[in-house]
Structure 1
């Protein structure tokens, strides 16, 4: 909770910083456009003032013609005593060319003077000709979009990882280009001038300092800093002091008419020292990163550093070459003929913020060669497909459309050509284009394209398998192709070990000899957590540290980076060991969620397969039919709850007595993830082994669809219906009731699919009793592919007795075919006043047996009783 609140506060801080950055960028861009579009509408500064001593440093023609002398000291502007650059800006920026400015001054010889200056129009910024197209292509694209792109990437990185200090350092670095390319304060006046000036000064003076801590701590702490932690402060401390002094100097220049001569003289030295410190910061960054590349403790850290150095070196180097070195050689990228060089430098610069964001965000970085190779292949393949698509469209147009357009009137017998043309163009646009894009995405970036769809479909498909071999082969192959995993080992339990049964990829020696002991640390961890276990050897979890050398060697031979448990009902059915991805990227949260659902369904399918094999094998041995029934009964018995969950304020009891050793009746009691208690009872059509198999499928389907803790029970029953329909013969179906009890509120939510309506026996304070019938209804499951269901919510009371049953109980018959009936059953339940659920269950069975008086049991008899304690 505390961590979540802390992350929220950090995101609020990020939102405030983002707002400030976007406002600064937008106002700077707007002013740049205004000056580029309408320079003649804005007055220029007629002279420049030394901001520290108020002396005129340079003159424009209009100021020189008015009599103002270079070196003069400004006393007042328009009759108001001079108070700093802020006052000068407030007068000139809102003025139009042709307006006058009165300046009172003192000449270098001490004499006083006054000048009336007629303000002249500004010239365009950076020599860009006026006009939207020129400003857009030669100013906005190069000097506004680049800092915006860097800024947005920085915000995104911090939003994704607000608790990561390196992400905040990265944000400062990526905000820095916004002031490097900015026009400063632009046309801002008043509060806007104060805001833009403060934002500009803060980033200008402190932005580059973020290089030092970033170099020290990313991706791991520098060994130089470990040995000499004071070294970074030798750079940072004086740099911070210099930055604060420069901000103080700017405040004096803008608002207080300048600074004292001693302070101005000091700041001349401070500026030189600060510029040298900026170069030291850059050199310190390069030195530490280079040292880390040689001494990184993990291969992942080395990959991050290689990507970082390659991306930033290419991006920043491109700017230096294009905008610094080439102009010194007479090759100006700002001229129309050489504008392509400026764009090339801009595009290459984008590699710097992208590389910075990538190395901070990813859990496991890919190598530079793989990034370049995959990106280049994708770009070339996509360009080739675009050329093919254009060529086909041109051929179709030339063959079908042009002959029609050359005719003044199209004969009716040639109208088919127009129809064919339209159809072919639609096929090219909607068919070929879409299919080619899908193929490219699957080929190069399939993880981001269809892993969710494929794995979700596979998790639904595995329920239909009854053979473990094809099941494991299909799952392993699909996961390998979908996520581009190089090695996968499927381990199933064989006695005291889990052995590799199915493998994808190349393993040292024979993969079939690789095994993990049942009591190994890996298996114990998977059994206890029932959750995926990531194996990050550079920062291992406790279970890996407790593993012995043999176990670690087995994991290394498997190439395991992710271990997924394949859970059964009450034991681990198997383990899926996944190796690294071809991309070298880590498994994402989405990957882990999808793989966990798939592994759960696979484990259930293995359990169902195990049950089906057990029953089918015994059924094939007709000479041992009695033993077959016994084995099947034992297997089926294991599917029923072996131990009832504890229920706050009540207890639950259930029992199934099949008519033929095995049957189709089903009941289940299991806790849901939100604390509710799930109650289920069903009756499969038919008897014997076929009914038991469908019962097992029904149970697996229910357990599968309740993994996500559903609240919409009508939708839940619809899923169960479709799953049972797909897994059963056309003449097989089942009645089914499912409910969930909240032990705190004692609210029962339920849905009924053609089953006998459960009954509630409620005793009133006066001693009388009332029988309530749950009204939720719907058709049986497994008979129709789609069926509507309604759900019901019932408020239970203390002392209530819920009786759910199959018709084998209520329709128990004597030898004379007299039916026991629902009334007798509830009368037996009422006679057990104050008894526990298990005692009520025993009484009902005993009364039913007493009534039938030894008559053969013609149907499975199942009871599930819920009893709430009295107040």
Structure 2
């Protein structure tokens, strides 16, 4: 069985309180820390700004032995000497430090204080002291310089540390290391702010917080060295070692609580000597904690199980080493040499102390960074970013300030003092201002590029290559070469061993390109997968750090996790199109196991964005080419169908005695469902047919061909019963067509000898017989008798009709595409206009009437698109 090394973060096998509960606890702890800081800050502010309102303590005495150790001028004036033992104040016996603190905080300069004491010889005595104000520490600029320096070091720095610690715990409440960082970063507040000015219950609460943080700092540092970023191998072998050091310190803390209570409110304790011995032991143990922390940390730098853990430790060591080292150098080492520039009455001290405190902030920021970040950047990467900023930005800012100052003092001010400035003076001012802007916008970018080329060649090359790649991918028109180029260049540039690209294929994102992977089977992700939804919603890279996963990974199903693990995913990049996610790129870890930096993510996101657009364009081009080819095939098929359909219409009209006939069909889509036919019957009559199949296009044309075949078949036996003929046609069409397909149909047989027209109408537009009367107006006869459309019902009754035509009669058989021809304003031509147009050419033969009617219809529609097939059959008797 494989043993997994236990991490120093979340506890394995232990049920932790909920994150919400822990955040509440962190808020309570932070409230206590901020309350302590606020109380100390108010006291510091009051005593620094209003020293004349407060008294100088006339004596100092040991809180345990109550022996006076220092007497100041006002105490010397009443002959109070060192070594006397305090027994009471203002007529009340001594009850503890709370009593003395109350006197000092409430008294004002000029008040008197009665001190009862026992002289070294044992003789009791009492003196009355007139209290003096606190002396002014500094005057003028020196005073404000010292105030600012002390305020920044003693107040701002601890507050910043508290904020960083609280932020770390809020971000990772269930991480043990985050709580250790919070405790460590609470220590600066008690290191710079004591509880000296508190009174009453506040003295006890602040004193307890002060002592607790002072005592716990070293054990917490040791525990941090044991568990961050993973448990030390030394602790795994000798887990009792840390408790040998920590247990006595915890015991001392437990003993300190009643000791403090008695010291503050009980007048002192009799076991002072024991506490002194314990304190010396604890001081030694504190030193042991620091030494053990250094030993454990340095050991883990070399023995950590992962490269990420080693990077974190290197960053932590470098950051805390610089921060704490500068703090010790400025506030301990330089003070030891007694340099004049650090004297309390010099403004220079403000700048040196503030700079030291500002640099110290590297330490808490480093501690927060190594705990919060999923994969730490290498120290070299951090130094690169810092060097770029300091040399390319901060230096230029300073240069701009210097140049601007020179311009103001040497050019602007003298020019303003001149009564009549010369043009050259004004030009010089503008030249200096232009120089400042030139440094701001032109030189900085070049300076950063120069630094990268000279000192960070690998990072510079990666940036150049990926920027070039983001420009090149737009030129690809095929998906395969595009994916292969992107995967290879990213792998070579960032030293990534595994790259996988999944593209949208139907309903899933399927694996299309791999590098360094040989997955068994097909890998795919659903659009509903947690990772895909996260990438689609944020359009930003998603890091996958399995030791501390983000919410989207925790919500992923087992199948999705298996796919991500198979691809050895450490970073997911969205490949966005214009309106949707085109694909996902999965990158494995770098061969160096270094983290993907923010610069890497920015460059990769730019490449991924251009790749997604290029994929969409390539697929669109492929789709357009496919559609063009398909359209060409369809057009060819339609052309063939049109040619076939043209062959189904009468190729030549039969000769009829005393009549002419003409017909034409104009489909709306190349092929259509309108039908007309003129064919001779065996008994000398001529069959006339017109129909309109529901719908348009190929499907309607096929049904039209079936209708023609059915009609030709049932007329072979030269029927006389047209109702029965139409019933047969209806059944044949019904059996050979879909349930939603039907046709309106009209069939007639014309006998030239008798001019008799026998017909039947199956739901079609009634054909028109236009007859001229001798008195002038024409008569219109509609052939309406018949029944329902054909092909819709399995059986239907039909009624035939017979009419005898007269010389000169005009018979129009048409489909609704003729009568419903529309203008661009959707106005229909209509039957009345059709009749009027026919009346105008009534005396012409069938061909001329046909042409005239189509021209009239086209003139009416004024070029509007034809929305339906237009068919017209004309029979004109002479």
TM-score (norm: length of structure 1): 0.57
CA contact (8 A) 2:496 2:587 kept: no
Change (3 A) 1:223 1:401: closer
2:357 aligned residue = 346
Comparing 327-336 and 489-498, the one that deviates more: 489-498
Cα deviation digits, residues 137-171 of structure 1 (max 9, x gap): 44233433332332232223223333322112111
CA contact (8 A) 1:7 1:162 kept: yes
1:205 aligns with 2:212: no
2:168 aligned residue = 157
CA contact (8 A) 1:491 1:498 kept: yes
Could you say what secondary structure the match of 2:114 adopts? strand
Comparing 135-144 and 573-582, the one that deviates more: 573-582
| Structure 2, unaligned runs of 5 or more | 1-14, 453-465, 536-541, 640-667, 672-696, 699-814, 823-864, 870-878
CA contact (8 A) 1:362 1:586 kept: no
Q: What is the alpha-carbon distance in structure 2 between the residues aligned to residue 303 and residue 578 of structure 1?
A: 18
Change (3 A) 1:465 1:49: same
CA contact (8 A) 1:85 1:257 kept: yes
1:82 aligned residue = 94
2:780 aligned residue = none
Counterpart pick for 1:283 among 291, 298, 301: 291
Change (3 A) 1:294 1:95: same
Counterpart pick for 1:62 among 74, 82, 85: 74
Quote the offset at 1:172 in angstroms.
1.2
2:178 aligned residue = 167
Comparing 466-475 and 612-621, the one that deviates more: 466-475
1:188 aligns with 2:188: no
Could you say what secondary structure the match of 1:144 adopts? helix
Quote the offset at 1:575 in angstroms.
4.0
Quote the offset at 1:403 in angstroms.
10
CA contact (8 A) 2:574 2:585 kept: yes
Could you say what secondary structure the match of 1:308 adopts? helix
Change (3 A) 1:122 1:581: farther
Counterpart pick for 1:244 among 243, 254, 261: 254
Counterpart pick for 2:118 among 106, 110, 116: 106
Could you say what secondary structure the match of 2:66 adopts? coil
Cα deviation digits, residues 87-131 of structure 1 (max 9, x gap): 011112222233211122334544432221222333567x99996
Quote the offset at 1:267 in angstroms.
0.9
Change (3 A) 1:341 1:480: farther
Cα deviation digits, residues 546-566 of structure 1 (max 9, x gap): 689xx97xx68xxx6324476
Cα deviation digits, residues 158-208 of structure 1 (max 9, x gap): 2333332211211111111121122x2243333443443232222112233
Quote the offset at 1:303 in angstroms.
1.0
Q: What is the alpha-carbon distance in structure 2 between the residues aligned to residue 423 and residue 480 of structure 1?
A: 50
Q: What is the alpha-carbon distance in structure 2 between the residues aligned to residue 141 and residue 213 of structure 1?
A: 30
Specify the structure having the higher radius of gyration (Cα). Answer: 2
Could you say what secondary structure the match of 1:369 adopts? helix
| Structure 1, unaligned runs of 5 or more | 446-454, 502-510, 631-657, 662-686, 689-812, 821-855, 861-871
CA contact (8 A) 1:462 1:605 kept: yes
Cα deviation digits, residues 317-366 of structure 1 (max 9, x gap): 33334433444455577324983664554344222212212211211112
Could you say what secondary structure the match of 1:90 adopts? helix
Cα deviation digits, residues 429-459 of structure 1 (max 9, x gap): 77863566788899999xxxxxxxxx9xx99
Quote the offset at 1:220 in angstroms.
0.7
Quote the offset at 1:18 in angstroms.
3.3
Comparing 170-179 and 107-116, the one that deviates more: 107-116
Change (3 A) 1:426 1:469: farther
Q: What is the alpha-carbon distance in structure 1 between the residues aligned to residue 220 and residue 276 of structure 2?
A: 24
Q: What is the alpha-carbon distance in structure 2 between the residues aligned to residue 264 and residue 40 of structure 1?
A: 36
Q: What is the alpha-carbon distance in structure 2 between the residues aligned to residue 347 and residue 488 of structure 1?
A: 42
Change (3 A) 1:178 1:660: farther
Change (3 A) 1:139 1:530: closer
Q: What is the alpha-carbon distance in structure 1 between the residues aligned to residue 408 and residue 485 of structure 2?
A: 45
Comparing 342-351 and 269-278, the one that deviates more: 342-351
Q: What is the alpha-carbon distance in structure 2 between the residues aligned to residue 424 and residue 222 of structure 1?
A: 62
Q: What is the alpha-carbon distance in structure 1 between the residues aligned to residue 374 and residue 154 of structure 2?
A: 33
Q: What is the alpha-carbon distance in structure 2 between the residues aligned to residue 571 and residue 207 of structure 1?
A: 51
**Equivalences for 1:524-539 in 2 at 5 Å?**
531=532, 534=543
1:221 aligned residue = 231
1:296 aligns with 2:326: no
1:20 aligned residue = 32
Cα deviation digits, residues 652-677 of structure 1 (max 9, x gap): xxxxxx9799xxxxxxxxxxxxxxxx
**Equivalences for 1:847-858 in 2 at 5 Å?**
858=867
1:274 aligned residue = 282
Counterpart pick for 1:619 among 614, 620, 628: 628
CA contact (8 A) 1:128 1:139 kept: no
2:159 aligned residue = 148
**Equivalences for 1:308-457 in 2 at 5 Å?**
308-331=316-339, 334-335=342-343, 336=346, 339=349, 342-343=353-354, 345-386=356-397, 389=400, 408-409=419-420, 433=440
Could you say what secondary structure the match of 2:817 adopts? coil
Comparing 109-118 and 401-410, the one that deviates more: 401-410
Q: What is the alpha-carbon distance in structure 2 between the residues aligned to residue 528 and residue 818 of structure 1?
A: 54
Could you say what secondary structure the match of 1:207 adopts? helix
Quote the offset at 1:382 in angstroms.
1.5
Q: What is the alpha-carbon distance in structure 2 between the residues aligned to residue 466 and residue 629 of structure 1?
A: 31
Could you say what secondary structure the match of 1:356 adopts? helix
Quote the offset at 1:279 in angstroms.
1.0
Q: What is the alpha-carbon distance in structure 2 between the residues aligned to residue 309 and residue 203 of structure 1?
A: 23
CA contact (8 A) 1:307 1:367 kept: yes
Change (3 A) 1:404 1:253: closer
Q: What is the alpha-carbon distance in structure 2 between the residues aligned to residue 659 and residue 5 of structure 1?
A: 72
Could you say what secondary structure the match of 2:226 adopts? helix
Change (3 A) 1:477 1:250: same
Change (3 A) 1:105 1:627: farther
CA contact (8 A) 1:31 1:186 kept: no
CA-atom RMSD in angstroms: 5.7
Comparing 286-295 and 139-148, the one that deviates more: 139-148
CA contact (8 A) 1:14 1:155 kept: yes
2:241 aligned residue = 231
Cα deviation digits, residues 272-321 of structure 1 (max 9, x gap): 11111211111121121112112100111111111111222222233334
Change (3 A) 1:819 1:600: farther
CA contact (8 A) 1:43 1:97 kept: yes
Q: What is the alpha-carbon distance in structure 2 between the residues aligned to residue 404 and residue 71 of structure 1?
A: 71
Change (3 A) 1:857 1:528: farther
Number of residue-to-residue matches in the alignment: 609
Could you say what secondary structure the match of 1:140 adopts? helix
CA contact (8 A) 1:314 1:352 kept: yes
Change (3 A) 1:104 1:628: farther
Q: What is the alpha-carbon distance in structure 2 between the residues aligned to residue 363 and residue 444 of structure 1?
A: 28
Q: What is the alpha-carbon distance in structure 1 between the residues aligned to residue 584 and residue 637 of structure 2?
A: 26
Quote the offset at 1:467 in angstroms.
5.7
Cα deviation digits, residues 39-61 of structure 1 (max 9, x gap): 45422222233323434344334
